[in-house]
Structure formats: C-alpha cells, structure tokens
Amino acid sequence: MATEMTERTPERRDRILQALEKLLEIPPADTQTAMNQAAQCVLELTLADKVDVFLFEPSSTTIVAVGTSDTPMSRKQKALGLDRLPLANGGRSVEVFQTGKTFHHNRQDEDPEELPGVKHQLGVRSHIGVLIEVGGERRGVLDIVSSKPDFFTADDVRFIETVARWVGAVAHRVELVEAVTKAAVAQGRRAAAEELITILAHDMGNHLIPIRMRLELIHRRAARERASEYLRDAEAAEQSLKALGRLISDLMDVGRLEQGLFSLTRYPTDLVAIAEEVARLATTPGREVQLTGTPELVVDADPNRLRQALENLVANAQKHSPAGLPVIVDVNRQQRQDGTWALLSVKDQGPGIPPELLPRLFERFSKGPKSKGLGLGLYLVRSIAEAHGGTLTVQSEPGKGALFVVALPLVEEG
C-alpha cells in the first residue's frame, strides 16, 4: 500500500523539502553526531519505526550503526546488540553491503535469510536497505524499517536510493573536515615542538662554550703534568662534548630548514679528503671505518655540510653494525644519461632496516623501534644532498645491512 511518503500533497512535498534541507545543513561535526542527525532527518521523511546509518568497521569486519534515529525500536536494537552486525553472521543488511544491491521486503517475518533477532525480537516487517558510498567507495548501508507489513512501495525504494547518496555526501564532508582538523592539530603540535627544540638547542649551545674551554684547560694541564689517566679522561670527555655539539648543530639546522635559512658556501672540494678525515676520526678499537673508491674526486659543494652528512651516515652505520665488522665508505663516480655523478656510499653489516620503516625513513623524528636518537640525522643528510641538487637513497634487506648513497651532480672541467 502507498505510504504518506509518496503521496503528492503540497503539505507532504513541503515536509520532504524541509527534511532534505535539514539533511544538507547538517554541520560537519564528528561522524557519529552527523550520522545521528542524518538518520533522524530520514525518519522524518519516511515515518518509519527506525532508521540506521551503518558504516563498515574494518578492524572488526562489522557494519556498525554509527547513526541511528531516536525511537523505541532503535533503543531496543541497541539493547539487543543488533546495532553491530558482523559480516560473518550474514543478514539482509550485510548482504546489501557485500553485494551493493538494494534490498526491499514487505514481509520480513517470512524471509528465511533475515536474522532471527531482526525478525522476531525487533519485530521488523517492512525493510529497505540501500548501499552508502562515501567518496566513491562502498562504506555502509542506509536501513529503514517498519513494524507494519507492506509499508514501503517501489517509489519509496527509488526515493531512498537518492537519499542514501545524500547521506553518503554528508558523511564524506564530515570525514574531510575531520581529516583537515586532525592534520591542522598535528601540524600545530609539530610546529610548537620544533620551536621548543630550536630554543633549547640554542640555549644548550651557549652552555657548551664554557664547558669546552674548561675541558681544554684540563687537557693542557694533564698533558703538561704528564698525567696519562687524566689526559685520557679529558680526551674522552672532549669526544663526548663534540658528539653533543653535533647533536645541537643538527637541531639548529632543522630549525633553519623549516625557516628557509639553511645555506651553503660552495667551492671546489675534494670529496675523498673529507671521507678520509671522517673515516680516520670515526675509527675506534673494534669500530673500523674502511675507505674505498677513487683516489680523488672534486665536487662543487659546501665541505662543512658534506662532512656533516657523512658523519651522520657513518655514526648511524656504526650504531647498527656488530662490533668487529667494519663500516665501508666508498667514493666513486657514475656516468648516467643525465650526466656524471659523484657517489658517496656508506655500507653497514647490521640487521638491515625493517621494510615498514623504509617509506618514512628520511622524515623528521623518524627512527626504528630500538633507536635511541632523535631521528634527525637521515633527514638532515637528505636535506644536505637535495640542497646540492643531489639525492639520498637507501637499499636494505633484513639481515643484510643497509647501503646509503648520496649522489651529487658532478661538473666536469671544460
């Protein structure tokens, strides 16, 4: 029998228009609030006993009534746990989601495929289920039910199919706003953290100056008095202070990169000489750094920045290499279709990089599960390479170590 929903009276048409306007005016708050309002709007359109906006929850492979109308049947549904429908349990609403096909039945109590709880405990007799698409993806089901048999007509079904598209558009708008808001909050937190880090790094740098001067005095006194133990302790303290200085420098450089103040002072630089110096200073008992490759390779670059990049790569390689196994630094050139490139490679023999970490390895503050650093070193190395017009790449397999390659464009003489 025809419902009031499809009667063509002017009063009914006005009610439909008003309800649809309310649907489009739903503010993009959180998803649950918006879908509850959408379900209530559809209830006003259909005069049904219950309207649900089911959305798929991937973590539990369940369609969940995220939005539902405020009616006695809706409250009973929640009390019975029928607001969550696992795909494995079947039922007509699940079928609509899985097949994408609209379902319409006016004698639900006679339907052998419907869930017993829906037919007998909720008392559903008439049912329309329509797929909800959000952003072009299958995401849920719009369910409208009545306790009366023969409540919906074919015209009602076509109308609800249109309404379901509107509900999908509302859900899409809400999700976009939520994503933008979340990104803005994350960006604000990141900016605040970076500003705090920069301030702390600057203050820490100021405190290092008197400590460095005092250590130099202790070192000279120990050397003058030939106090070998004090001399050894002073040298170890100076090495620790240099490491702390490099960390502070890295923190300051991150701030400069974000502010667009990162600069280079470029002139012809022997890449091999820099590699030799870094390898020599980084080699310690049980932590050898071996240098291979061409005997000389001159690039137009900032030597201090290249040294900073190589020190970060070598320190990272030593941290992940087993004791007694060397880190290999290789300097070479490579002829490509786009010209000649200088390649600065650092190879370790550690456990390799987890595959899930590789896509974000060069991001700020990205680090492995066992890393104790801040996760800035590789970000700075990549930034230094790109500032020279080059690249930083990585190759790694579990159990086979990691190979980092800085590629710099090489301008040949003539």
DSSP one-letter string for 8-37: --HHHHHHHHHHHHHHHT-----HHHHHHH
pLDDT of residue 176: 85
pLDDT of residue 77: 93
pLDDT of residue 80: 93
Query: What's the token pair of residue 76?
Result: 């009973």
The arithmetic mean of pLDDT across residues 330-346, rounded, is: 90
Co-location of 295 and 345 in the same domain: yes
Q: Confidence band (pLDDT; 50, 70, 90) for 94?
A: very high
Domain range for 347 is 267-409
Co-location of 169 and 234 in the same domain: no
Q: Confidence band (pLDDT; 50, 70, 90) for 2?
A: very low
pLDDT exceeds 80 at position 203: no
In a domain, residue 358? The reply is yes
pLDDT exceeds 50 at position 195: yes
Query: What's the token pair of residue 7?
Result: 């009667």
pLDDT of residue 191: 67
CB 183 within 8 A of CB 36: no
pLDDT of residue 414: 43
Query: What's the token pair of residue 17?
Result: 């228009």
pLDDT of residue 413: 52
Q: H or E segment at 56?
A: strand 50-57
Task: For tokens 């969550």, name the residue.
Answer: 84
Q: Confidence band (pLDDT; 50, 70, 90) for 13?
A: low
Backbone angles phi, psi at 380, to 5 degrees: -70, -40
CB 50 within 8 A of CB 129: no
pLDDT of residue 338: 80
Of 211, 234, 259, the residue at which a domain comes to its end is 259
pLDDT of residue 181: 79
Co-location of 163 and 218 in the same domain: no
pLDDT of residue 192: 67
pLDDT of residue 199: 65
Co-location of 255 and 192 in the same domain: yes
C-alpha span between 41 and 35 (Å, rounded): 10
In a domain, residue 389? The reply is yes
More confident residue, 366 or 330: 330
Co-location of 399 and 273 in the same domain: yes
Which domain CATH number covers 382? Answer: 3.30.565.10
Co-location of 177 and 193 in the same domain: no
In a domain, residue 114? The reply is yes
pLDDT exceeds 70 at position 262: no
- Average pLDDT of every residue of the chain: 83
Co-location of 43 and 129 in the same domain: yes
CB 327 within 8 A of CB 292: no
Task: For tokens 């040949």, name the residue.
Answer: 412
More confident residue, 228 or 412: 228
> To 5 degrees, how large is the angle CA 69–CA 73–CA 75?
70
Co-location of 202 and 255 in the same domain: yes
Of 198, 224, 259, the residue at which a domain comes to its end is 259
- pLDDT single digits (tens) 112-155: 999 999 999 999 999 999 999 998 899 999 999 999 999 998 88
Q: Which of 46-55, 153-162, 221-230, 367-376 has the lowest mean pLDDT?
A: 367-376
The arithmetic mean of pLDDT across residues 311-327, rounded, is: 88
Q: Which of 35-39, 224-228, 272-276 has the lowest mean pLDDT?
A: 224-228
More confident residue, 292 or 234: 292
CB 133 within 8 A of CB 139: yes
pLDDT exceeds 70 at position 351: yes
Co-location of 120 and 159 in the same domain: yes
DSSP one-letter string for 275-325: HHHHHHHH-BTTB-EEEEE-S--EEEE-HHHHHHHHHHHHHHHHHHSPTTS
In a domain, residue 127? The reply is yes
In a domain, residue 414? The reply is no
Co-location of 404 and 293 in the same domain: yes
Query: What's the token pair of residue 236?
Result: 């170890």
Query: What's the token pair of residue 270?
Result: 């022997």
- Region for 391 from its dihedrals, namely left if φ exceeds 0, alpha if ψ lies in -120 to 50, beta otherwise: beta
Q: Which of 1-10, 184-193, 277-286, 349-358 has the lowest mean pLDDT?
A: 1-10
Q: pTM of the prediction?
A: 0.50
pLDDT of residue 232: 81
Query: What's the token pair of residue 73?
Result: 């049947």
pLDDT exceeds 90 at position 198: no
Co-location of 169 and 221 in the same domain: no
The arithmetic mean of pLDDT across residues 308-333, rounded, is: 90
In a domain, residue 87? The reply is yes
Distances, alpha carbon 409 to alpha carbons 163, 311, 332, in Å: 59, 20, 12
C-alpha span between 342 and 409 (Å, rounded): 6
Query: What's the token pair of residue 165?
Result: 């598209």
Q: If you average pLDDT over each of 66-70, 200-204, 337-341, which comes out highest?
A: 66-70
pLDDT exceeds 70 at position 304: yes
pLDDT exceeds 80 at position 263: no
Task: Give burial (CB, 10 Å; 0-12/13-18/19+) of 141.
Answer: buried
Q: Each residue of 316-352: b (16+ CB within 10 Å) or e?
A: bbbbbbeeeebbbbbbbbeeeeeeebbbbbbbbbbbb
Residue type, 183: A
Q: Confidence band (pLDDT; 50, 70, 90) for 312?
A: confident
- pLDDT single digits (tens) 378-394: 888 888 898 889 999 99
In a domain, residue 335? The reply is yes
Count of structural domains, the chain: 3
Q: Confidence band (pLDDT; 50, 70, 90) for 261?
A: low
Co-location of 295 and 222 in the same domain: no
- Give the other-Cβ count within 10 Å of 50's Cβ: 26
In a domain, residue 110? The reply is yes
pLDDT of residue 393: 93
Of 132, 165, 181, the residue at which a domain comes to its end is 181
